[in-house]
C-alpha cells in the first residue's frame, strides 16, 4: 500500500515539474526581444538619472546568454553595470 501511494506522488510531482518546464520554455522571451526591451528601459533610466544639460550616456551591451527557460543580458550605462534576466514573459534588471 505504501509503495503504490509513493509512486503516484512521484508521478504527480514529475508531471507538475514537466508542465512548469514546458511552460517556461514556451513563455521564454527571445534574446533579441529582451535585448531591445532592456535597451529601451535602460535608456529611459539614463534619461531620468541625467541632470539637465548633461549628455545622456549610451547603453552598451556586454554579454547575452540564452538558457533553457530564461535569457540573461548584461549592459552598461555610463559606469553602471546592469544584469538582466528574462523568463516567463517577465524581465528583471538589478539596479545599482
Q: Is residue 86 part of a domain?
A: yes
Q: Is residue 43 part of a domain?
A: yes
Q: Is residue 18 part of a domain?
A: no
Q: Is residue 84 part of a domain?
A: yes
Rg (CA), the chain: 20
Q: Is residue 17 part of a domain?
A: no
Q: Is residue 12 part of a domain?
A: no
Dump pLDDT digits (tens) for 51-85: 888 888 889 888 888 888 888 989 999 888 999 99
Q: List, in order, residues 6 or more apart from 15 with CB less than 8 Å away.
A: none
- pTM, two decimal places: 0.71
Dump pLDDT digits (tens) for 7-55: 999 999 999 999 998 888 888 888 888 888 888 989 998 998 888 888 8
Domain housing 32: 28-93
Domain count, the chain: 1
pLDDT (0 to 100) of residue 13: 96
Q: Is residue 33 part of a domain?
A: yes
Amino acid at each position: 500500500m505504501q509503495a503504490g501511494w509513493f509512486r503516484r506522488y512521484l508521478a504527480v510531482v514529475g508531471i507538475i515539474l514537466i508542465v512548469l518546464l514546458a511552460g517556461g520554455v514556451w513563455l521564454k522571451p527571445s534574446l533579441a526581444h529582451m535585448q531591445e526591451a532592456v535597451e529601451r528601459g535602460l535608456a529611459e533610466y539614463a534619461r531620468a538619472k541625467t541632470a539637465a544639460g548633461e549628455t545622456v550616456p549610451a547603453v552598451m551591451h556586454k554579454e547575452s546568454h540564452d538558457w533553457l527557460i530564461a535569457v540573461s543580458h548584461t549592459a552598461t550605462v555610463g559606469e553602471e553595470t546592469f544584469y538582466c534576466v528574462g523568463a516567463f514573459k517577465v524581465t528583471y534588471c538589478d539596479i545599482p
